[in-house]
Chain A
């Protein structure tokens, strides 16, 4: 069937400037540029990944949105019309990648942070210590000393973070080995963590394992007792913000020799993660899995449970903590993915800001907030989001999309095609080679260093010098332009209200 879909972008080549070096042709992994006497774009295939424009030595390439107007219709937007055309042609579910791009309210952008004036002095982070260190893991209610004033409390395992930002779970399979290596190296250098996602632990990143969260998802890919023990922490993945309630699918063509070994599945077979864990049909089953992992790891690794932010998230999180999890990882509806049905990514779940506020408050009401750390992601875009998340009650944030962007990702949302021109979300050797792990690790470290400095600046302006004095301190946030109900859920006052 001939496609009626118009091109999304228009690629323009300035032939005056072009020296016909063909670098763009080589770089385009989507086949959108050919050479026929001169550089000839096939705009229909362009995804706006900017690879050609970035590498053109003459800056001769520009990419614009295809200037094709549709008859105006507030209801029938061009996007909806195009989706219908696609489905009329394919009969399939529309796949997409990255996080929800729809204009739902972004609560981060409706919260403002306090600062000190006169009565409590601000602190200069260049002159005074400004502490970001955070420990993830279950904490007891109190610390006990015996008669000789020696410690009588043994602490559950704790993972030290030098900066309260962790790299999000992204599997080897969804992203390349070079991207995994870069994340592992950066996590080690910055004193934070990366997360294997559900794709197992490749031998080449095993040396970084004390800075790696290993994930146990419904497919159980690569899960052995050795895998569980070579880790900083173990995470049971129940759900993902981008696709709550559904599983995953790594197409067989991506399952080469290396992925086959790491995931422990035959070469060329589809790697299907079921929607639920087939041994978890309720909370007591989850508890069994948590303790099975704790037994396997001799109670030396914190166990995290990751869930997507859904309507009843607070009660679910409470159950998870009572089931024995040391960490609850909440993933908001804007979280990224390598591949998800658009209908799920764009319409299921709730914003992380509200989920976090509800969970933290619920755990406090039940007096069990200290029993587990809270990690939040989906989507944390900037250091200000980290500050606001911690003030709402998070122990630390996870960043997926932001870390990919740092490595070169242009958020073109074509991860599911396996054609990532930047060598990140692909398994094609010629593309993977484009990502130099050392350079990408440097870029990741730079991002975390920059955000760390920015967080320290904000702490200083708040007049506090330790991150624990921000954690859960909602008094330091004010809402702007939010309805009362949102303010109540967030547990913050409207701007203009003093103490």
Chain B
């Protein structure tokens, strides 16, 4: 099938089976490859959920190391902070277009009970991720969630997908990203998706409110070490949903809040909620052009900025929810759709896992 992509900006694509059916990685590679011209070969990546069913209760750390010294330091660190159930290289194969990969290693970790006297397990893991990224030179946590992982690097996304042999993984949620970096240099750690615990974010756009989003997160102890603005999205969602326990629809309302003119016309109860969200969470407002797909263990969220300065199309076929920068990237893998629509500016598309993962 011929694929007509419009050459501009980054590319994102995501798909999820709301019934928890697992699908192998070849399909998502095909979808993101369709939007080849939206990337420039300086970054691509994937997030996959449900890929480690045998160790689904352990934290799967995907690590990137610049050198052996960083690897040794980190492994000493893991021994102090976790019970390491297993560690192994992340399988890769030689691939044209991919050069100079860092050392890629994965670890399946459990948190020792005695470490959790004063904080929750997830706070504990978050802190260790922050610590590694900020304190161990040359080590970077690519992902740290349970039963999920991020596979990313410098290259076109379809090459990255083949480099990581994604055909060998089955997931009920896949998200993908092709990067056209402008403001931030292309490096392996800086590719999307960005992750924290089981949150993953792929992002097309630039956050013009980065400065204040970052300073707001720092107030809550987040350390923003990366040279790109996407990590603020992942951390904001972590803060709002995991730590502040906002329902997902309320969290996205903070990130892309309705305009005051619309809030003023809402029903009283809804108006009160929307007003308070903006009053309290004004610093979480993501301003500037973006379309993002957020993955987490229980679903997938698509969101546009408040005036839709970046493209996003959503579609359904049977139990599968699709989202992508372009409709072509969805049609490429599912030509015959039940439903296809362009989500309104600032209105989230929320996919929820209805069944147990198979």
Q: Do A and B bind each other?
A: yes
> B-contacting residues of A (Cβ < 8 Å)?
116, 118-121, 123, 128-129, 131, 133, 135, 139-145, 149-151, 153, 155, 158, 364, 367, 369-370, 462-466, 468-476, 498-499
B208 touches A462 (CB 8 A): yes
| A131 with B260, Cβ < 8 A, contacts A145-B247, A151-B276, A155-B276 known | yes
Q: Which residues of A contact B183 (CB under 8 A)?
A: 119, 498-499
Q: Which of B219-263 contact A (CB under 8 A)?
A: 219-220, 227, 243-247, 250, 257, 259-261
B272 touches A471 (CB 8 A): no
In this complex, what residue of B is CB-closest to A367? B219
Q: Is B351 an interface residue (CB 8 A)?
A: no
B211 touches A145 (CB 8 A): no
Q: Which residues of B contact A364 (CB under 8 A)?
A: 215, 218-219
Please measure, in the bound complex, the distance between the C-alpha atom of A155 and the C-alpha atom of B272, giving whole angstroms.
10
In the complex, the 10 A-B pairs of residues with the closest C-beta atoms, listed nearest first: A475-B211, A468-B282, A473-B211, A469-B287, A469-B209, A142-B244, A473-B212, A464-B287, A463-B208, A120-B206
The residue from B214, B282, B283, B309 contacting A475, defined by CB atoms under 8 A apart:
B214
A145 touches B246 (CB 8 A): yes
Q: Which residues of A contact B273 (CB under 8 A)?
A: 151
Q: Is B280 an interface residue (CB 8 A)?
A: yes
A464 touches B247 (CB 8 A): no
In the assembled complex, 6 residue pairs joining A and B whose CB atoms fall closer than 8 Å, in A order, are: A139-B279, A142-B244, A145-B245, A145-B247, A155-B279, A462-B208
The residue from A139, A369, A499 contacting B227, defined by CB atoms under 8 A apart:
A499
B97 CB to nearest chain A CB (Å): 24
Q: Which residues of B contact A129 (CB under 8 A)?
A: 259-261
The residue from B218, B280, B287, B307 contacting A143, defined by CB atoms under 8 A apart:
B280
A470 touches B212 (CB 8 A): yes
Please measure, in the bound complex, the distance between the C-alpha atom of A473 and the C-alpha atom of B309, giving whole angstroms.
21
B245 CB to nearest chain A CB (Å): 7
Q: Is B45 an interface residue (CB 8 A)?
A: no
Q: Is B169 an interface residue (CB 8 A)?
A: no
Please measure, in the bound complex, the distance between the C-alpha atom of A471 and the C-alpha atom of B259, giving whole angstroms.
17
Q: Which residues of A contact B182 (CB under 8 A)?
A: 118-119
A252 CB to nearest chain B CB (Å): 46
Please measure, in the bound complex, the distance between the C-alpha atom of A46 and the C-alpha atom of B254, giving whole angstroms.
58
Please measure, in the bound complex, the distance between the C-alpha atom of A465 and the C-alpha atom of B306, giving whole angstroms.
9
In this complex, what residue of B is CB-closest to A393? B215
Q: Which residues of B contact A145 (CB under 8 A)?
A: 245-247, 250
Q: Which residues of B contact A473 (CB under 8 A)?
A: 209-212, 215
Q: Mark B274-317, 1 if CB is under 8 A from A, else 0.
A: 00111111110101110000000000000000110100000000
Greatest chain A CB density within 10 A among B243, B247, B279, B309 is at B279
Q: Is B184 an interface residue (CB 8 A)?
A: yes
